[in-house]
């Protein structure tokens, strides 16, 4: 049916509130991670948040549906960690918006570089957020 008015089409993000450094409980974070990551074991987040440059929460009606953390070295390098979107909310641009807001928070915090490690199947997503591939290495410690 053709639209005869100038009302903009609602975006899937219209119902999502993005907040910089919101207060988050460990219960909220563990519930989101348990839904999003198959082998998640409950863990403490307070120490992580206390040492972070920033974190962004995505909320739908007060419920945490997305999260990303920005760690840093205290200087030029910031690190995008734990980008997480509830499986029921994926494919709506929440992850992209979280990543872009994390990049902006790092830029405003004085970082010159934003690093992210990811698995090959996520290459398209990170490229769409403006990241370019680099060679990196990883060593499992536990």
Torsions phi, psi for 76 (to 5 deg): -85, -15
Q: In what order do the strands lie in the sheet with 77-85?
A: 16-20, 54-60, 63-72, 77-85, 113-115
Question: Are the CB atoms for 70 and 105 separated by under 8 Å?
Answer: yes
Q: According to DSSP H, which parts of 3-117 are helical? A: 26-36, 46-51, 94-108
Q: Where are the alpha helices (DSSP H) in 6-114?
A: 26-36, 46-51, 94-108
Look at residue 35 and tell me whether its pLDDT is greater than 80: yes
Q: Does domain 16-128 have CATH number 3.30.420.40?
A: no
Within 10 angstroms of residue 89's Cβ, the number of other Cβ atoms is 20
- Residue among 96, 99, 51 nearest 71 (CA): 51
What confidence category does residue 137 fall into, taking pLDDT thresholds of 50, 70 and 90? confident
Contact 52, 69 (CB under 8 A): yes
User: What global pTM score does this model have?
Assistant: 0.87
Residue 75 has pLDDT above 70, yes or no: yes
- Output the pLDDT for position 141: 87
């Amino acid at each position: 049916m053709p639209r005869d008015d100038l009302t903009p089409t609602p975006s899937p993000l219209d119902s999502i509130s993005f907040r910089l450094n919101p207060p988050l409980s460990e219960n909220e974070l563990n519930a989101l991670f348990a839904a999003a990551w198959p082998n998640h074991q409950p863990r403490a987040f307070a120490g992580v948040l206390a040492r972070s440059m920033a974190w962004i929460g995505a909320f739908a009606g007060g419920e945490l549906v997305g999260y990303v953390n920005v760690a840093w070295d205290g200087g030029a390098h910031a690190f995008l960690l734990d980008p997480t979107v509830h499986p029921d909310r994926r494919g709506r641009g929440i992850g992209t918006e979280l990543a872009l807001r994390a990049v902006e928070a790092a830029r405003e915090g004085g970082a010159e570089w934003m690093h992210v490690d990811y698995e090959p199947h996520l290459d398209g997503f990170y490229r769409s957020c403006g990241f370019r591939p680099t060679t990196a290495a990883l060593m499992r410690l536990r």
